[in-house]
Amino acid sequence: MKHLKLTPTAKLSEAEWQTLRQSFVTKGMVGGSDAGTLLGLNKYKSPINMFYQSVGINSLPSQMNAIMLHGKQLEEYVAKCWQYYDGTDEGWVANTTANNKIKRYKKVKAIIENPKYPFLFANVDGIITKHPTYGKKKGILEIKTISGYSSDSYEGGIPPSYLLQIQHYMLVCELQYADICYLKDGRELGCVTFEADVDLQLSILDEAINFSRRVHQARKAIEGVEDDNEALQIASQFEPDADSSMAFNAFVSEKHKAREEEVTIQGGDEHEKWAYAYRDISDELKNLENDKQLYQNRLKQVMEKEGATTMVLPNGKITWRKQFQVRL
């Protein structure tokens, strides 16, 4: 890792750290937490949000909230637990009680750049220096806090955006494995090891290169433009294509509300196909929602008659407390 460039962050406040990170973003660079967004696996953020943040129009760096702060403050505790964790609660308790560290890591209080990949940067939780499987071979340590509800939504319990994040970090740091250690619902410890996936890393790199190109083209095009509305209009010619996320819809809708003029444009055959598809899917969804509600009502009626909160099925179960959930 000697050839990697490290920009120290140890003495920075949260606000200073956000400003530093934004300086990388405005260069059109992509961080690990952005990899899932670029590949369409972040339901809370769209590449279009990243684009305008990088271009520097109508966008601010991320602000700390309560959930983020809890996660940040728990990082050190979870990382400490990871050092003793052997995959079982019993082993973790025994190792912790005996102060038997079976894994070790070192913190990296810096933003990492690799000259081979000038479009990427990384801010890792730690570098593994001792591992039961890989010995003294270095790897990435990523710490997460996650709710059971969120974890249960994904196969294996790990959101895909987390997988892309560690692949991003392995690529930048040129390491071959990573551990994601997580604390679920504040009480359940878990750890999953992943190896470098060349195909995923190439996908991240390709998307990052394309994204960076768009950002640089937009920034060059709006140089000297002082009017924000005009700058937005120019930059929009380089923005990422629409995706299916609610985040994209929310962003472009807010952007549209700010326009003051009524403008009419002429659409073509392709746009008419999209309009027909939108109408047909909307009609189909209405029918599906009606059917969904009917079957939910039937199941609720049976459970309510019996005063039940859980129904065990041959291949699953239904729970109905504050929420109605079907698991098959």
Domain layout of the chain by residue ranges: 5-202, 271-327
- Across the strands, what pairs with 318? 311, 326
Q: Give the pLDDT band (50/70/90) at residue 147.
A: confident
Tens of pLDDT, residues 195-250 = 999 999 999 999 999 999 999 999 999 999 988 888 888 999 999 999 888 888 88
Q: Give the pLDDT band (50/70/90) at residue 313.
A: very high
Domain 5-202, second-level architecture: Alpha-Beta Complex (3.90)
Q: What is the pLDDT of residue 58?
A: 62
Per the CB < 8 A criterion, the answer to whether 54 and 238 are in contact is: no
3-state helix, strand, coil in the chain (%, to 5): 50, 20, 35
Answer yes or no: is pLDDT of 54 > 80: yes
Residue length of the chain = 328
Q: Other C-beta atoms within 10 Å of 262: how many?
A: 5
Q: What is the pLDDT of residue 86?
A: 96
Tens of pLDDT, residues 239-265 = 999 988 888 888 888 878 777 778 898
Q: Give the pLDDT band (50/70/90) at residue 42.
A: confident
Q: What is the pLDDT of residue 62?
A: 55
Torsion sign (Cα): 79, 194, 39, 7: positive
Q: What is the pLDDT of residue 14?
A: 86
Place of tokens 């009606």: 290
Q: What is the 3-state secondary structure (H, E, C) of 60-91?
A: CCCCCCHHHHHHHHHHHHHHHHHHHCCCCHHH
Answer yes or no: is pLDDT of 325 > 80: yes
Any idea which of 84-98, 146-160, 186-200, 290-304 has the lowest mean pLDDT? 146-160
Tens of pLDDT, residues 155-208 = 778 899 999 999 999 999 999 999 999 999 988 999 999 999 999 999 999 999
Answer yes or no: is pLDDT of 40 > 70: yes
Rounded to 5 degrees, φ, ψ at 186 are 75, 5
326: three-class secondary structure by DSSP: strand
Tens of pLDDT, residues 90-144 = 999 999 999 999 999 999 999 999 999 999 999 999 999 999 999 999 999 999 9
Q: Pairing relation of β-strands 139-146 and 177-184?
A: parallel
Tens of pLDDT, residues 7-27 = 999 999 988 998 999 999 999
Q: Which residue has the higher pLDDT, 176 or 149?
A: 176
Q: Which residue has the higher pLDDT, 49 or 65?
A: 49
